[in-house]
Structure 1
Amino acid sequence: MSYPFDLDGETVWDAGYHTGQMYISLACSAAERLELRTGLMPNDQGGCDIELPAFQAFVEGLYDSYSSTRNPVLHGMIRGLLIASLILLEQAGASIALKPEHEDAFWEEKVDFGRAMG
């Protein structure tokens, strides 16, 4: 069973059911804390539709939160969600600007996550 993330009727990430549910739960909690919308809307097919401008704003807000602190615990809690969100955003055909010190640090994780996210 899968949990597809669709953009304009095309699946950009066909997550496993539990992975997709966990991602949505984490994203919704982070969005509430950041006072942003996720841009991810449940659909009738058992997955989510992506509203790209809102999702891009969410990912940027998540990254800004990550970048604005040096707290290693907060970094650890945000990092997995952020990496998955950056990849989903790229698979949807968009991106956000990363600070140079994060581009290299995130690259390897994005490659690993990207393989698993198809």
Structure 2
Amino acid sequence: MSYPFELDGETLWDAGYHSGRLYASLAHGAAEFLELPSGLAPNDQGGRDVDPEQFRGFVEGLYELYASTRNEVLHGLAHGLLVTSLVLLERAGGTVALTPPHEATLLEEKGSLVHSMAV
């Protein structure tokens, strides 16, 4: 069973059911924490539709939190969600400007994760 993330009927990530539900739940919680819309809405296929503009704003807010905190726990909690979100955002046609202290690591991890995120 899958949990698709779609944009205009195109599947951006055909996540496994558990992976997709957990990601959507984490994104929802982070969006609530950041006081931003996640850009992910339930769809008829049992997954989520991606609103590219809202989702980009969410990922930007998540990256700002990640890049600005010195709290190791908060940084770690945001990390996995951020890398997954960067892959999904790229597939939706968007990007976030990354700063040099984090850019190389995040791009490398995004490149590794992209192969695990089936389309």
Same fold (TM over 0.5): yes
> Hey, what does 2:78 align to over in structure 1?
78
> Hey, what does 1:98 align to over in structure 2?
98
> Hey, what does 1:68 align to over in structure 2?
68
Q: 1:67 offset after TM fit, Å?
A: 1.1
> Hey, what does 1:11 align to over in structure 2?
11
> Hey, what does 1:42 align to over in structure 2?
42
SS of residue in 1 equivalent to 2:98: coil
Q: Which 4+ stretches in 1 moved above 2 angstroms?
A: none
> Hey, what does 1:110 align to over in structure 2?
110
Tell me the C-alpha RMSD between the 2 structures. Answer: 0.8
Q: 1:113 offset after TM fit, Å?
A: 1.1
Q: 1:64 offset after TM fit, Å?
A: 0.5
Q: 1:107 offset after TM fit, Å?
A: 2.1
**TM-score, normalised on structure 2?**
0.96
SS of residue in 2 equivalent to 1:14: strand
> Hey, what does 1:22 align to over in structure 2?
22
In structure 2, C-alpha distance between the alignment counterparts of 1:70 and 1:29, rounded to whole Å? 21
In structure 1, C-alpha distance between the alignment counterparts of 2:77 and 2:104, rounded to whole Å? 19
Identity %: 60
**TM-score, normalised on structure 1?**
0.97
Q: 5+ residue gaps in structure 1? A: none
SS of residue in 2 equivalent to 1:44: coil
Q: 1:58 offset after TM fit, Å?
A: 0.3
Query: Which 10-residue stretch deviates more, 59-68 or 106-115?
Result: 106-115
Paired residue total: 118
